[in-house]
C-alpha cells in the first residue's frame, strides 16, 4: 500500500515532477523531494504538507547524491520508491557547432545524475525485504531525432539502456526498475518557450502546436497529469521490470 511507503522524487521543481508530487503527497506515508531549487521557489501548496520534506541539491555531484540517501536513511530508515524526473535538453546546436562544455552539461544532467541516483537507490533498497521500485523519465528523443538536440537524445538513449542494465543487476534484490518515455510535454516551461517564439517570430500558436504534434497519431497535447496513471503502475508493480513505456501519443510504434 502506498500509504505505508517512503518515496523520493527528484527534479520536482519541473512540470512533470511537480505534478507527480501533487498527486502522490496525499497518498504516501513520507515524501522526500529534491531539486536545485528551494521549496519556497516553486511550491504552490499552502500549508506545506506535514509528510513532505524537500532537500535542495545539485544531483549531478556524487557527494550530494550520497548525502541525500544518507539523510533519508537516518530520518526514515528506508526508501521504497524513487521517481527520477531530473533532465532537460538545455541547449540547441548542430553537432558540428556544439560546444563541448555544453555537451558535458547535458550529459551530467540527463545521464550522470540518473546513474548516481540508481547506484545509491539500489544500495539502499536492497536492504528492504520487499525490494523497491525505481522509475526514470526518458524521452521520445531517445528514439526519434529532435533537431539540434543530439547530446540530449544520446543521453536519454543511454538512460534507457541504463534502465536495462540496472533492472538486470537489481532483480536479485526484487528491485523493479523501469522508465517512462514521453513525447513533447506541455509543461509551464514549454508554454513559456512557445509564447517567446510567438513574440519573436509572429507565428501563430496553432501553427506551432500543429508542428509539435505532427508525428503523433493522437493529435492532442500531452500534459504532466496525463502521465500519472503510468507512474502509479510502475511504482506499485511487482511484475514489470526493465521496461520503457512510450507515452508518446502514438509517435513511437515499436516493441
* Residue 135: closest CA among 168, 163, 111: 163
Which pLDDT belongs to residue 254? 78
Tens of pLDDT along 149-205?
A: 999 999 999 999 999 999 999 999 999 999 999 999 999 888 998 999 899 899 999
- Is pLDDT above 80 for 255? no
Q: How confident is the model at residue 48 (pLDDT cuts 50, 70, 90)?
A: very high
For 112, other C-beta atoms within 10 Å of its C-beta total 19
pLDDT beyond 90 at 245: yes
**The C-alpha cell that represents 135 in the structure block:** 522509475
**Could you tell me the pTM of the whole model?**
0.95
With beta carbons less than 8 A apart as the criterion, state whether 9 and 17 touch. yes
Give the list of residues 6+ apart from residue 46 with CB closer than 8 angstroms, or none. none
In CATH, the architecture of 2-185+221-247 is 3-Layer(aba) Sandwich (3.40)
Each residue's pLDDT tens digit, 114-139:
999 999 999 999 999 999 999 999 99
Domain boundaries, the chain: 2-185+221-247
Average pLDDT over residues 102-121: 98
The model's confidence at residue 14, banded by pLDDT at 50, 70 and 90, is: confident
> If you write DSSP's letter for every residue of the chain in order, what string do you get?
-GGG-EEEEESTTSHHHHHHHHHHTTT-SEEEEE-SS-GGGT---SSPPTTEEE----TTSHHHHHHHHHHHHHHHS---EEEE----------GGG--HHHHHHHHIIIIIHHHHHHHHHHHHHTTSTT-EEEEEE--GGGTS--TT-HHHHHHHHHHHHHHHHHHHHHGGGTEEEEEEEES-B--HHHHHHHHHHHHHH---HHHHHHHHTTT-SS-S-B-GGGGHHHHHHHHH-SS--S-EEEESTTS----
Q: Is 155 exposed, middle or buried (CB count within 10 Å of its CB: 0-12, 13-18, 19+)?
A: buried
Confidence of residue 1 (pLDDT cuts 50, 70, 90): confident
What is the Cα–Cα distance from 187 to 192, expressed in whole angstroms?
A: 9
Model confidence at 30, in pLDDT bands (50, 70, 90)?
A: very high
Amino acid at each position: 500500500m502506498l500509504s505505508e511507503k517512503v518515496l523520493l522524487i527528484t527534479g520536482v521543481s519541473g512540470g512533470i515532477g511537480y505534478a507527480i508530487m501533487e498527486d502522490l503527497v496525499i497518498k504516501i506515508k513520507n515524501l522526500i523531494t529534491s531539486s536545485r531549487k528551494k521549496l519556497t521557489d516553486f511550491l504552490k501548496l499552502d500549508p506545506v504538507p506535514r509528510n513532505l520534506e524537500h532537500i535542495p541539491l545539485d544531483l549531478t555531484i556524487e557527494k550530494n547524491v550520497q548525502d541525500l540517501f544518507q539523510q533519508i536513511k537516518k530520518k526514515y530508515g528506508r526508501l521504497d520508491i524513487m521517481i527520477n524526473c531530473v533532465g532537460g535538453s538545455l541547449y540547441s546546436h548542430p553537432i558540428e557547432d556544439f560546444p563541448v562544455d555544453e555537451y558535458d552539461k547535458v550529459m551530467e544532467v540527463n545521464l550522470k545524475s540518473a546513474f548516481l541516483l540508481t547506484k545509491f537507490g539500489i544500495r539502499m533498497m536492497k536492504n528492504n525485504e520487499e525490494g523497491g521500485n525505481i522509475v526514470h523519465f526518458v524521452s521520445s528523443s531517445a528514439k526519434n531525432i529532435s533537431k539540434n538536440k543530439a547530446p540530449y537524445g544520446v543521453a536519454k538513449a543511454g538512460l534507457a539502456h541504463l534502465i536495462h542494465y540496472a533492472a538486470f543487476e537489481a532483480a536479485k534484490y526484487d528491485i523493479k526498475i523501469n522508465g517512462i518515455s514521453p513525447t513533447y510535454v506541455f509543461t509551464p516551461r514549454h508554454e513559456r518557450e512557445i509564447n517567446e517564439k510567438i513574440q519573436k517570430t509572429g507565428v501563430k500558436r496553432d501553427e506551432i502546436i500543429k508542428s509539435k504534434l505532427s508525428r503523433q497519431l493522437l493529435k492532442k497535447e500531452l500534459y504532466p497529469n496525463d502521465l500519472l496513471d503510468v507512474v502509479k503502475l510502475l511504482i506499485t508493480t511487482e511484475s514489470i521490470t526493465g521496461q520503457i513505456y512510450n507515452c508518446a501519443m502514438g509517435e513511437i510504434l515499436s516493441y
